[in-house]
Structure 1
């Protein structure tokens, strides 16, 4: 594995993750109805830090391999959806509008998991916790839509 590639993928991951600092949960999120199985708040930064390290490792292992075009395309797709979800959900407070982004993220992570696994077992395995976490996040996103039917998104002029 090329250590410089690892740091490039890690930088991309943490850049996407920085949206969490730009759009913190705040009082609005605390006031939402959430399912009883919502993970505790302390778990989110632990999981995302772990996931970002793992997918940077996976990307660095696979990027140098012949035939990695689809794996790299799915890697890019997942980090783009990852970066987009937080500003829509927390920034615009658009719970419903974040669902299609979450679906795209789930598809991208699934594609990345499969294509990385086809090229390198350890790289594919590194995506498995991400796939599990995004599956839980998607279920949580859908349940929050259901539990907060009257929640209105912010308008751009309200920002």
Structure 2
């Protein structure tokens, strides 16, 4: 049963990434290249492996919390925080790439970053490794926030 829970947590997070990738693929190919971007903008090929790795780490963190769910007093709140940050993660892709609303995406990614930190701290209180696994996610979304800000300013 633990193996199934592990796989389901990984699949959930990878599904968020796959949905975002599917919904935004055309804009990534057609619209995004037309934007003015800062010199530190990563090459497009880098985003897929980074996000795949991050989604796997997020899924592992969720699994570490899931297996301790019987000992968590506020488990529904913990799950709600986790799901909110996943929804915000998905929403950013739609806002930025599908709607082409860079300013709105900037505001949304700041909210996402806040929820990621809240999620990391919540997970850390339950399982230290679950919290630690969010550090790369926090770092990447911090960078993505700065990148979004710069794209907003340049466009």
TM (norm. structure 2) is 0.88
Task: Quote the RMSD (CA, aligned, Å).
Answer: 1.6
Whole-Å Cα distance in 1 between the matches of residues 141 and 132 of structure 2? 15
Counterparts of 1:48-127 in structure 2, within 5 Å, are: 48-65=51-68, 66-67=71-72, 69=75, 70-127=77-134
CA contact (8 A) 1:63 1:72 kept: no
Larger proportion of helix:
2
Residue 122 of structure 1, CA deviation: 1.2
Whole-Å Cα distance in 2 between the matches of residues 52 and 3 of structure 1? 17
Residue 8 of structure 1, CA deviation: 2.0
Residue 102 of structure 1, CA deviation: 0.7
TM (norm. structure 1) is 0.86
After the TM superposition, which parts of structure 1 deviate over 3 Å for at least 4 consecutive aligned residues? none
Is there any run of 5+ residues in structure 2 with no aligned partner, and where?
A: none
Deviations 1:23-63 (A, max 9, x none): 12022110101111112212111111101111111001112
Is there any run of 5+ residues in structure 1 with no aligned partner, and where?
A: 149-159
**Residue 34 (structure 2) aligns with:** 31
Does the residue aligned with 1:23 lie in a helix, a strand or coil?
helix
